[in-house]
C-alpha cells in the first residue's frame, strides 16, 4: 500500500489548511498511476491542521501538532494492522478471489511531511544518521532503523521525563505512539521515497540556473531567453526567467529544454575564471 500526503490550503478565507491522505496500491502500472483521470489514487481522509495559538510554548506546540498528525494517521491506517499478517479475501478485476495482505510499504511526501512522518527534525535526513553539518558530503552513514526507534517510543508508557530525555539524546521528536509503530512487516525509514520534484528536478535546475547567472550575468541570460524564436515544443518566456518567483515543476522542465542553448557561443573567459576560482 502506497500512502501519500501533502499539506494543502483549502480556503483563502482565514487560511484553512489540512493534510489530505491518498491511498493506492503498488501493482498498478505507472502509466495509469500518473493519470489523475484514471483515479488510481483514492482520498481516504483529511487530517486537520491547526496553529494552536492558545499554546504559548513554541516547542510544546510543535510537539502537539506532531502527536495530532500521528494520532489521526493511526486512525486512518489502523484497520490494516490486524489483516497485514492474517490476510484478507479480496476479489480482483477478473472476478477471482484472492487472499491479500495489505502492507504499508511506501510513504510519498515532501520533505516537511517526511520529517513529520519519521519524527525527525527539520534539517535532518529522514533515512540516515548523517550530522546536520555534513549534509551533502559524499560519505556513508548508518541508516535509521525502526526497531531501535520503537524501543525509544515505548518509554512513553513509563516516566515521561526519561522519555523526553531519551528522544532528545536520539535526536527525534517525542511523539507518543507513532502510527507506523503498530503496523507490521514494514519499516518507515525504508518506506520514505526521494522527493523527485523538489529535490532532483526543481532543486538541481534552480542551482544550475543560479550557477549560470553567476557566470554570465542575469541580463545576458534574460536577453538570450527573450530572443528564442517561437516553437511549438518550447515554452517561450517573453519576459525572461529572472522575474519568475514561484516556478512550477512544469516550467522547470520547459526551462531545461532550452537552458543549454542560452549559453551557446557565449564567451567562456568568465567561465574559465570561475572554474579557476573554485579550484583555488
Pairing label, strands 88-91, 97-100: antiparallel
What are the pLDDT digits (tens) for 170-212? 889 999 889 998 888 889 999 998 887 777 777 778 888 888 8
What are the pLDDT digits (tens) for 15-67? 788 899 999 988 888 888 888 888 899 999 999 888 887 888 888 888 888 99
pLDDT of res. 275: 64
**Under 8 Å between Cβ of 255 and 205:** yes
pLDDT of res. 134: 86
**Under 8 Å between Cβ of 3 and 23:** yes
Angstrom distance (rounded) from CA 232 to CA 279: 41
Angstrom distance (rounded) from CA 72 to CA 46: 9
Instruction: Report the greatest alpha carbon distance in the chain.
Output: 69
Q: What's the burial of 80, exposed, middle or buried (CB within 10 Å: 0-12/13-18/19+)?
A: middle
Angstrom distance (rounded) from CA 251 to CA 150: 42
pLDDT of res. 255: 84
**Under 8 Å between Cβ of 170 and 222:** no
Angstrom distance (rounded) from CA 130 to CA 137: 9
User: Which of 37, 39, 64 lies closest to 50, judged by CA?
Assistant: 64
Grid cell at residue 176: 507518543
For range 146-151, the mean pLDDT = 88
**In this structure, what DSSP letter does residue 142 have?**
P
Looking at per-residue pLDDT, the higher value among 277 and 193 belongs to 193
Q: pLDDT averaged over the chain? A: 85
With a pLDDT cut of 70, the percent of the chain lying above it is 94
In angstroms, the Cα distances linking 114 to 47, 103, 127 are 15, 19, 9
Range 168-175 contact pairs with CB under 8 angstroms and sequence separation of 24 or more: 171/120, 171/121, 171/124, 172/119, 172/120, 172/121, 173/62, 173/63, 173/66, 173/119, 173/120, 173/121, 174/63, 175/63, 175/66, 175/67, 175/70, 175/119
What are the pLDDT digits (tens) for 247-267? 777 787 888 888 888 887 777
User: Which of 24, 190, 197, 33 lies closest to 109, judged by CA?
Assistant: 197
pLDDT of res. 93: 78
Angstrom distance (rounded) from CA 88 to CA 218: 60
For range 126-131, the mean pLDDT = 90
Cβ neighbors of 97 (< 8 A, separation 6 or more) are 89, 90, 91
Amino acid at each position: 500500500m502506497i500512502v501519500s500526503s501533502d499539506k494543502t490550503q483549502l480556503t483563502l478565507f482565514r487560511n484553512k489548511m489540512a493534510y489530505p491522505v491518498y491511498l493506492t496500491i503498488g501493482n498498478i502500472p505507472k502509466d495509469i498511476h500518473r493519470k489523475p483521470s484514471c483515479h488510481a489514487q483514492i482520498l481516504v481522509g483529511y487530517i486537520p491542521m491547526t496553529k494552536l495559538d492558545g499554546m504559548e510554548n513554541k516547542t510544546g506546540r510543535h510537539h502537539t501538532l506532531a502527536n495530532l498528525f500521528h494520532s489521526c494517521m493511526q486512525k486512518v491506517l489502523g484497520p490494516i494492522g490486524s489483516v497485514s499478517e492474517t490476510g484478507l479475501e479480496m476479489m480482483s478485476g477478473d472476478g477471482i478471489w484472492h487472499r491479500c495482505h495489505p502492507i504499508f510499504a511506501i510513504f510519498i511526501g515532501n520533505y516537511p511531511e517526511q520529517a513529520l512522518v519519521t519524527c525527525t527534525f527539520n534539517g535532518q535526513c529522514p533515512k540516515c544518521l548523517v550530522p546536520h553539518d555534513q549534509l551533502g558530503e559524499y560519505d556513508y552513514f548508518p541508516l535509521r532503523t525502526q526497531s531501535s526507534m520503537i524501543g525509544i517510543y515505548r518509554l512513553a508508557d513509563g516516566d515521561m521525563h526519561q522519555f523526553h530525555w531519551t528522544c532528545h539524546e536520539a535526536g527525534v521528536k517525542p511523539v507518543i505512539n507513532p502510527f507506523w509503530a503498530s503496523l507490521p512487516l514494514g519499516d518507515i525509514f525504508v518506506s520514505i521515497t526521494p522527493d523527485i520534484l523538489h529535490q532532483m528536478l526543481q532543486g538541481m535546475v534552480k542551482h544550475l540556473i543560479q550557477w549560470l547567472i553567476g557566470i554570465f550575468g542575469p541580463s545576458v541570460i534574460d536577453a538570450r531567453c527573450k530572443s528564442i524564436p517561437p516553437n511549438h515544443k518550447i515554452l517561450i518566456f517573453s519576459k525572461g526567467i529572472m522575474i519568475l518567483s514561484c516556478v512550477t515543476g512544469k516550467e522547470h522542465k520547459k526551462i531545461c529544454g532550452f537552458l543549454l542553448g542560452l549559453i551557446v557561443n557565449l564567451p567562456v573567459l568568465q567561465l574559465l575564471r570561475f572554474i579557476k576560482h573554485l579550484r583555488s
